[in-house]
Amino acid sequence: MKKISVVLSFLFLTLSSSYGQWYVKKYQVTDINLLSKEQLEESLLKSNRDLLTSGVTAGAGALIFIIFKYAKPGMSEDPGVIEQLLGDKGVNKIGLIAGAGILIGGTIASIVYIGRSGRIKSVIRRNYPTVGSLDISPAVILNSYTRSSCAGFTLTYNF
């Protein structure tokens, strides 16, 4: 039980870096478009590392959940006072709850980092296009003579 507590504490500490509007805190800007290409690439690398960490955290939570669900290890060989009070069933239930909590936390953090990585990639593509890239985006075509509008697309080739 002591080992599980230490592992849970470590896993919760890894989730502490998942907060909103990361660029405000790190770079003191209010808009992600104000970041330089180097800052965006550095942030993308960090987001990908954090995505990997949160995926490992979710996997560890799933593993803990499965172990306590099917193997039912119960109390350790040298049970402490709390383990003796809880008994085998109580320890297994706490392990299930802890595993589910870690799994949910890791999954939420993964979703946050997937969204963050996608946003950074789109800003890099939009603000710093590569030579030979082709962009297509929706647009509204306005006719000033008849005052009508229709939907359309713009196609941009960067050279």
pLDDT tens for each residue of 82-100 = 777 777 788 888 889 999 9
State the Cα–Cα distance between residues 114 and 42, nearest whole angstrom: 16
Is residue 119 scored above 50 in pLDDT?
yes
pLDDT-derived band at 18, boundaries 50, 70, 90: very low
Kindly state the tokens that stand for 79. 């049970």
Domain range summary for the chain, segments of one domain joined by +: 2-128, 131-159
Which pLDDT does position 15 carry in this prediction? 57
Residue 20 has pLDDT above 60, yes or no: no
Better-predicted residue by pLDDT, 9 or 87: 87
Spatial CB neighbours of 151, under 8 Å, sequence gap ≥ 6? 138, 139, 140, 141
pLDDT exceeding 90 applies to what percent of the chain? 38
**Confidence bin at 75 (pLDDT 50/70/90):** low
Average pLDDT, integer, range 99-124: 94
Please report, as a single letter, which amino acid is at residue 57: T
- 63's tokens: 């593993």
- pLDDT at position 9: 67
Mean per-residue pLDDT, 96-113: 94
